[in-house]
Structure 1
């Protein structure tokens, strides 16, 4: 059975869409998924990037794009009242619901992502809403405790060590696939598409010379 690592942060609408579409995109394939919430802001800081919502024209495009994708794929989506929102409490909640030595299951991740993106336009980080979600999920450990916080830190550090730079990222057999639009590529890899084993993957990812901006 193929194992997939699904790295995500609830703040990302593309992560939500990828989560919803994953079963359909991989229908007929044998796989298991390890859902790994992380801190997207830590990835941005590590690589010296701004988030899409921090660049106004990119923010406009992002939400037009994700709503078009959602309408095309018939996936329910409502933009939260505040975005970007602080997703730490939701990611810690996911890890607090996971068994020791395991990752959060799909039901937990579904509840958390839908809380953010099917909330009728409410604030995903609203303390009362988060508290109500916590009561429904009934985590075995305190989401605000050190154990849950450490598991989120560990997940983020592991993602950075693996080369994850954005969300969602899917990891398959040492290969990383970034973004909602990479789902078809993941399916091809799992089906044994020779492109992934015939040298193309390695060749096209190899370093090569190029012009660098001043100061970079």
Structure 2
């Protein structure tokens, strides 16, 4: 059985759609999933790139595109009242639900729906307090141990060369994005392409401009 680490941030509509699509995309395969919340803003800062919603024309396209994708998937999606927003409260709540810092699928589903269904303010303190009471986390989300685990999750993601969400890591290979799910399935099915030069050979392609990292 393969273990997949699913790096996610509840701020991302693509992470929400990938979360909903994952069971269908991998139906019939043997695997387990560790859901690992990370702060997308930290990953973007580390790689010195703007967030998708910080580029106005890109923001407009993404917001249209994810609504169309949700319609195609048959997934309910309503943009929160404000987006982007500060997701740290939700990330810390997710991590606080377990001592290992890895929320289960029910917790992740609850948090994604909190953000992406109903159109309310995802970071509203009263809503966040009600959500905390409903999930009854094992630790206080503001506990230092929770903050440390969130930082560690992000450090783990960076070490694994994760640069955005949703990302799926298995056997040291990272698959990024909702549209990578068919590729992830092919890998889990043993497609020989992944052991060819096509996977690692990209590292040897010269660049005419300086690259970071």
TM-score by structure 2 length?
Answer: 0.96
1:196 and 1:208 map into 2 onto residues whose CA distance is 17
- Structure 1's consecutive aligned runs of 4 or more residues displaced over 2 angstroms after TM superposition are none
Once the two structures are TM-superposed, the CA of residue 198 in structure 1 deviates from its matched residue by: 2.6
Aligned partner of 2:100 in structure 1 is 101
Equivalent residues of 2:3, 2:170 under 8 A apart? yes
Aligned partner of 2:111 in structure 1 is 112
Once the two structures are TM-superposed, the CA of residue 141 in structure 1 deviates from its matched residue by: 0.5
1:194 and 1:65 map into 2 onto residues whose CA distance is 32
Equivalent residues of 2:35, 2:105 under 8 A apart? yes
Matched, 1:127 2:121: no
Aligned partner of 1:211 in structure 2 is 208
Aligned partner of 2:137 in structure 1 is 139
1:11 and 1:194 map into 2 onto residues whose CA distance is 35
2:196 and 2:206 map into 1 onto residues whose CA distance is 23
2:83 and 2:149 map into 1 onto residues whose CA distance is 25
CA separation of 1:102 and 1:52: change in aligned 2, threshold 3 A: closer
Matching residue within 190, 206, 210 for 1:192: 190
Correspondences of 1:51-70 after superposition (within 5 Å): 51-70=51-70
Aligned partner of 2:49 in structure 1 is 49
Once the two structures are TM-superposed, the CA of residue 162 in structure 1 deviates from its matched residue by: 1.0
2:176 and 2:138 map into 1 onto residues whose CA distance is 32
Once the two structures are TM-superposed, the CA of residue 202 in structure 1 deviates from its matched residue by: 1.5
Q: Secondary structure at 2:179's aligned position in 1? A: helix
Correspondences of 1:68-87 after superposition (within 5 Å): 68-87=68-87
Gaps of 5+ in 2: none
Equivalent residues of 2:7, 2:168 under 8 A apart? yes
Equivalent residues of 2:96, 2:146 under 8 A apart? yes
Gaps of 5+ in 1: none
Once the two structures are TM-superposed, the CA of residue 102 in structure 1 deviates from its matched residue by: 5.5
1:174 and 1:75 map into 2 onto residues whose CA distance is 30
1:156 and 1:17 map into 2 onto residues whose CA distance is 21
Aligned-pair Cα RMSD in Å: 1.5
Q: Secondary structure at 1:206's aligned position in 2? A: helix
